[in-house]
Amino acid sequence: MAQILQQIIFVALFALAVWLFSRKIRLIIQSIAWGKPEQRSDRSVERWRNMLLLAFGQKKMFRNWIPAILHFFIYAAFVITQIELIEIIIDGTLGIHRVFWNVVPLGGFYTFIISFIEILSVLALVATIAFLTRRNLLKVPRFWSREMTAAPRNDANLILLGEMLLITGIFTMNTADMTLHNGEYGFAVSGLLMPLMSGLSEATLHFLERAGWWLHLLVVLGFIVYLPYSKHLHILLAFPNAYFADLDTTKGRMKHMPRIEQEIRLMLGQPVEAPSDEPVQFGAKDVQDLSWKSLLDAWSCTECGRCTAACPASQTGKLLSPRKIMMDTRDRLEDKIRFRAQNGSDADDGKTLLHDYIAVEELRACTTCNACVEECPVSINPLNIILDLRRFLILEESNSAEEWNLMFGNVENNGAVWKMPATDRANWAAEV
């Protein structure tokens, strides 16, 4: 009876976690579809290569070896532990114990896999402690800058603590089980931990084995439910984000605006297609004006702050932080999803990404140097969002700094940013 009750609780909890996860993921996918179309499905071979190198191989992370290796331990442990999770799901659903040992006897291969998981778990534990220390005791500046308020800091700490609980669950379960079976399974690390439990009664060992099993399971289910609300969503989204990344290697090349190009060609007397009569909005005011890839970028951001650490505007004390641009875009998407869920799918809360979330001063501080794009380990492009918002600011709201207006006038009248004819642009070089 107790066994059947356990199976029912397991299946109910598992189904609830999957339902909550898929409900939120569906909302996220719908919100990405709010974005403007952008072609990102060409050159599939290069895209697969990019994804394998950047997302799977974590290529950019290895610019800095120590955190990269520690991050790799956690990542590898997370991936490989899913094998043990498959066993837990089968055991929990069917009410059996260690299906891959007792029912589908994998023998030595099973011992090898679980031992491998245990060794990776120890390495992941070391990495987790190092990351918690780095964040909270050493206080690495990029984890404590302005936009890293209590919520994003707690998010990172929560996942790291969850990782420690998960590892505790695995070792409690395996060590108790090994002790009960006199080391029969031959697991590498829990075999070494057996002396810690050797004096315990059989009932206590059974209790510890079940406690470890449930702890492991509950942390995993909690993680599944929490993941779409956390920056750790990048564990899933880093892959499509790298696949759909801009493959154009030209550093810092900006997307042009076809309608502006048309106007310039007309001014230069070049042939152009007849302009359409449809009203055109330049740039972006809110999330639905950005491209779908920019919205995918926002959901994929790990909030690591590498972009902000490399940003010259941020380094010189300006208000701009490319990480904040991504976090604000995600916050705006979250708020819009919530508002529409409560007020109908077309409801408007009267707010916009520009002004209500991202200030003019932040946008003006960007030098368009592209350093943030170069630095990002998961192929995010904060510059695209900055440029789209800035284009709206200037072309739709005529809101630009006085010095810029002077420059725009010079470009329009002289074909140069300075107050001189285009033909004299290179005169300065005569004296060099």
Which residues contact ligand SF4 by CB under 6 A? Answer: 301-307, 310-313, 320, 322-323, 326, 366-372, 375-376, 378, 380, 382-383, 386
Within a 10 A sphere around the Cβ of 236, how many other Cβ atoms? Answer: 15
Which pair of tokens denotes residue 273?
Answer: 């297609």
**Using CA atoms, how far apart are residues 286 and 389, in angstroms rounded to an integer?**
8
CA–CA separation, 248 vs 238, rounded Å? Answer: 19
The DSSP result for 111-123, as a single string, is HHHHHHHHHHHHH
Which of residues 197 and 376 has its CB atom nearest to ligand SF4 in the complex? 376
The candidate with the shortest Cα–Cα distance to 325, out of 266, 386, 373, is: 386
Nearer to ligand SF4, 190 or 314 (CB): 314
> 144 is written with which tokens?
């404590």
Cα distances (angstroms) measured from residue 96 to each of 4, 87, 326, 339: 11, 10, 46, 45
- The helix or strand, by DSSP H or E, that contains position 102, with its residue range, turns out to be helix 99-102
- 124 vs 301, which CB is nearer to ligand SF4? 301
End-to-end CA distance of the chain: 92
Three-state SS for 36? strand
Closest separation between CB of residue 29 and ligand SF4, Å?
A: 20
Q: Any idea what the Cα angle at residue 155 is, between residues 151 and 156, rounded to 5°?
A: 125
Instruction: Please say which residue, 167 or 363, places its beta carbon nearer to ligand SF4.
Output: 363
- Do 326 and 409 touch, CB atoms closer than 8 A? no
